[in-house]
Amino acid sequence: MTGNEDTLKALRAALEVSPDNLPLRQHFAEILLGLGRFEEAETEYRSALSLLPDNQQLKLGLARAFSQQGKNAQAIVVVEDLLRMSASPPFTLCSFAAKHQCHCHSSFNQIYCRT
């Protein structure tokens, strides 16, 4: 087993013991995302959001997972939700678009990121 697989196995075991541990679940989702395991990351972000539905970091992570899977419409819906929640919505939205430009629909930038 690789170091990454060992880490994932340990985190899964910890989540079995403490399934409502939000920081642990978020950390697990972020590691999955970083390893390119986007579908699994999406599942973990969804689970975490079931515990804390209005968490902006979790929503942004879910949007990133969607984007990396080519689920652009879903990513945009989540980011638009962030737009409604955020104290500085254009920054949140345009920051996401800049980071994931190759995965987002071109109209996304045209609509939300006008200079």
Domain limits for position 39:
3-112
Residue 108 pLDDT: 55
Amino acid at 43: T
CA–CA separation, 77 vs 1, rounded Å?
38
Q: What is the pTM (predicted TM-score) of this model? A: 0.78
Which residue is associated with the tokens 């079995």?
A: 16
Q: What's the pLDDT tens digit per position in 1-43?
A: 678 899 999 999 999 999 999 999 999 999 999 999 999 999 9
Across the chain, mean pLDDT equals 82
DSSP state of 37: -
What's the structural domain count of the chain? 1
Stated length of the chain: 115
Q: What's the pLDDT tens digit per position in 48-59?
A: 999 999 998 899
Which residue is associated with the tokens 């079931």?
A: 50
Which residue is associated with the tokens 């899977």?
A: 69
Q: Which CATH number does the domain housing residue 55 bear?
A: 1.25.40.10
Poorest-pLDDT segment among 25-34, 76-85, 94-103: 94-103
Q: Per the structure block, which two tokens stand in for 94?
A: 């345009």
Residue 38 pLDDT: 97
